[in-house]
Amino acid sequence: MRLLPLKPSAALGALLTLMAGTYAMADTTAAEPSVAEPNPTIGEVSVGTTIKAARLPDNVYLRDVNDPDDIIWDRIPAYRVGLTAAPPVHASTQLRYDPALSGHVYFQVARTSERFYVRMRWPDATLNRDTKVDAFSDGAAVQFALNGPDTSFMMGTAPDYPVNIWYWRADRDTVENLAAAGFGSTTLLPEQVVTGKGTYHSDDQNRNQEWHVVMSRPLDVTGEYQIGLQSGTVPISFALWQGDKGHRDGNKILNMGWVLVDIEAEP
């Protein structure tokens, strides 16, 4: 299968145009003064950090396969990684590029004997579910390097080093299963095997607003460009689109490097 650009109607022309290399993390508290100090029970991670995927017992069931608010998420390790503005790689994104944008995302990774889960949680003071001419949807993505951490963040490094992308968008509350092997090659895969769900939260005073999103996939799938999730170490990265800031396509915030997830094999 040859990776090709998506049609413009997919609104993903510059999806996850991640730059190669390691960049310093921006100060996330300055951009979000209302966010509380980091929770000491949250593991702060940076580029190159290795974490372990949590193992969920097979006799423990979520209320829904992609329930982002199930109590099980309070019982497994959570991590936080800093995000910075994606560097512009195309003239269309240069006009909207704001290098001061930054943030963070909390995330968890877990598996059962049959399924792999990624949960993301992040502060967002404005709920954006619509995509119109002058309005843009919130969104989130998880990117996996298929052939190791030497893969470029420019949507992969040509055919030998592609990436698998799970892309959730609030206007549809669905996940697209994508692949890329370099800038301009983002492709919707024939096997749409990834599912997901998002919920938006705020307190009684309309404060502490945040998104909770879960994306998951069976361990056993067929087709090309699907990340292997049975065992080994998987490079993973994250990206967010915040509609109130005009984020779309290549304008987003992301972590500039791979976090490594150790996926324990079946006993």
The CATH number of the domain covering residues in 45-263: 2.60.40.1190
Average pLDDT of the chain, as a whole number: 79
pTM of the model: 0.80
pLDDT band at 12 (very low <50, low <70, confident <90, very high): very low
- First-residue to last-residue Cα distance in the chain: 34
Output the DSSP codes for the chain: ----PPPGGGS-TTTT-PPSS--PPP-HHHH-TTSPPPPTTSEEE-TT-EEEPEEPPTT---SSTT-TT-GGGGGS--EEEEEEEPPP-SHHHHTT--TT-EEEEEEEEEE-SSEEEEEEEEE-SS-----BTTB---EEEEEEETT-TTS-TTTSBTTTB-EEEEEEETTTTEEEEEEESSTT--EE-S----EEEEEEE--TTS-S-EEEEEEEEES---STTPPP-SSEEEEEEEEEE-GGGT-BTTB-EE-SSPEEEEEPPP-
pLDDT of 189-233, one tens digit each?
A: 999 999 999 999 988 777 789 999 999 999 999 999 999 999 999
pLDDT of 21-38, one tens digit each?
A: 333 333 333 334 334 454
Question: Of 59-63, 92-96, 133-137, where does the model show the most confidence?
Answer: 59-63
